[in-house]
A and B are shown apart, each in its own frame.
Chain A
Amino acid sequence: MSVVTDSPVHSSGSDDFIDYLNEALDASSPNSSSDEEAENQDEFEDLSRNKRRKLESTEETEGSTSEGIVEQKLVVAESSVVKVDGCTHPGTFGKLCISCGEILDGESGVTFGYIHKGLRLHEEEISRLRNTEMNTFLFSKKLFLVLDLDHTLLNTTILGQLSSEELHLLNETDSLEAKGSLFKLEHMHMMTKLRPFVRTFLKEASAMFEMYIYTMGDRPYALEMAKLLDPQGEYFNAKVISRDDGTQKHQKGLDVVLGRDSAVLILDDTEHAWMKHKNNLILMERYHFFASSCRQFGFNCKSLAETKSDENETDGALAKILEVLKQVHCTFFEKLQGDLVDRDVRQVLSSVRGEILSGCVIIFSRINHLALPTLKRIAEQLGATCLTELDPTVTHVVATDAGTEKARWAVKEKKCLVHPRWIEAANYFWEKQPEENFFIKKTTTQS
């Protein structure tokens, strides 16, 4: 163990030296930190020029330099006519105001820990940033897109929960270099399958949208998934929001997204997580690749992995949603009138949605009365008109049983008799589905 023999400071001296320096530097800085913000540019330059001259002339003795600076500053301060403005404290980093360096103990503002640990921004600053962002992105014709991970872009399972028929997957995992879609994460004991078409989806969407990931997983998981989806870091750099970064438990919000609500679209499979922003949400059909995922939602059928099949790449959910996004983007930028900043993507979304079943007049028969209000709301959002009494204008009867009075009327009048799933399918696929696929058989009780 080597001992430094001539260390410049001894135990008794070190504390004094530190205190001395403390005092010296603190004496000169309170004036400078408050005056810097308040004084205008010219006086500021004079100050620093004086400081420079002082430093050049008295280099050896630090004590006199600092005293000299203090004197000079006091002189300038007295002669200046400006009043010292308070700092607006636009945000904090590690509890220090980012503009004046003061320690702020309050917890106001929103944490932006996903950008950098310890960063918090206050309301005014967030609005200011949102507005400057808006201008940049509208100028480059980009909107904002918030993407969920689980069941939307990928499906993850814990290695221990793989069913016996899925064990063959352990040998089929891809490496990241192979640009595959099945990955094993040993250190997290997880296996992840990316949804078919996801890479093309991300590439094409990135040309139209500034993308964020917002997941209810924790931060290490979110960052791992971002690495799988975006190995180059070109889409989601510093835009991965996990549940540790959200402001509310069990709820997702757009308060941590630096884009105005009127320009953000959300892609998620869980409507319940976005209670405050339902109008921005595009609901995705859930991706169940693993059996554990099916079981989690109460499905007893075989998972895609067990049947060794997968969602259709070019015809699947992501491909369809990409078309919808392109349509909304195009409508927002080309077809809407008025100033770019006044346009609202939510209006575009609801108008696009309202065209899907426009012209359809629907009547419901023997639907579970708990599910009926939701079904009615979805149908109306999709542009259909819902009636309660039979009428010659009715085009579709939605029922679960072919034996009801309304159902028999439909068959007699040659109207379409479909299962409620026809409405749900239209909602997920953003397209009116062929009614033939949803006909109800007369004798079966469930279709």
Chain B
Amino acid sequence: MFFHIVLERNMQLHPRYFGRNLRDNLVSKLMKDVEGTCSGRHGFVVAVTGIENIGKGLIRDGTGFVTFPVKYQCVVFRPFKGEILEAVVTMVNKMGFFAEAGPVQIFVSNHLIPDDMEFQSGDMPNYTTSDGSVKIQKDSEVRLKIIGTRVDATEIFCIGTIKDDFLGVINDPTTV
């Protein structure tokens, strides 16, 4: 799920950036440092949307670096256990399929795929129902439910299932 929250971070700035553009330099350094990172509590920081407040800078002893406490608003993405998400399938194999929902990698193992869907290998490996009506292959969109998440230093891993009602391939209305 996406959230728009305020986070705080202490940014260290080298003296070469002091001057007229100090604030801009600070902000661009913040964006470079924080966008694309992950934490267990907040999840994946997708983008910084604004700066709320920059506190007074404190010069560090020994070096000329100055530390600014910066409060910024950002959009974060954090998957939750039990959440229903839409994801795009990236790889299908006999163990299940891998899907991506934004920066999050989700794996749906074949234990959590309905029993009537069989794996078909070939050029475009896919899972198909016995009557061929539903097919999951690379680039399909699926609705899945997260049953477990874990946040690493830079990545979020999730396990998902489609063995529930209303989960599975999102029907393309033009083909139905």
Contact = CB atoms under 8 A, between A and B. Distances in A.
29 contacts: A1-B27, A4-B49, A9-B3, A9-B5, A11-B5, A11-B6, A11-B71, A14-B3, A17-B3, A21-B80, A25-B81, A26-B82, A29-B81, A29-B147, A33-B81, A33-B147, A90-B109, A93-B109, A93-B159, A94-B155, A96-B148, A96-B159, A98-B95, A98-B96, A100-B148, A101-B81, A101-B147, A103-B148, A121-B95
Contacts of B159: 93, 96-99, 101
Contacts of A18: 3, 5, 41-42, 78
Contacts of A96: 148-150, 157-159
A8 interface: yes
Contacts of B27: 1
Q: 4 closest A-B pairs (Cβ-Cβ)?
A: A101-B148, A94-B157, A101-B147, A29-B82
B143 interface: no
B6 to A, nearest CB: 4
Contacts of A1: 24, 27, 50-51
A32 B82 contact: yes
A168 interface: no
Contacts of B107: 93-94, 98, 116, 119
A48 B163 CA distance: 11
B95 A52 contact: no
Contacts of B1: 21
Q: How big is chain A's contact interface, by range?
A: 35 or more
A226 to B, nearest CB: 16
A33 B146 CA distance: 10
B112 A99 contact: yes
A118 interface: yes
A70 to B, nearest CB: 12
Q: Please indicate which of the listed interface residues A95, A103, A118 has the most CB atoms of chain B within 10 Å of its own CB.
A: A118
Interface of B: 1, 3-6, 8, 24, 27, 41-42, 49-52, 71, 73, 78, 80-83, 91, 93-96, 98, 105, 107, 109, 111-112, 121, 123, 146-150, 152, 155, 157-159, 161, 163-166
- The prevalent SS among residues of B at the interface is strand
Interface in A86-142: 90-91, 93-103, 115-116, 118-119, 121, 129, 132-133, 136
Contacts of A3: 49-52, 73
B165 A45 contact: yes
Nearest to A90: B111
Contacts of A102: 148
A98 B81 contact: no
Nearest to A115: B93
Contacts of B146: 101
A98 B5 CA distance: 31
A444 interface: no
B122 to A, nearest CB: 10
B103 to A, nearest CB: 13
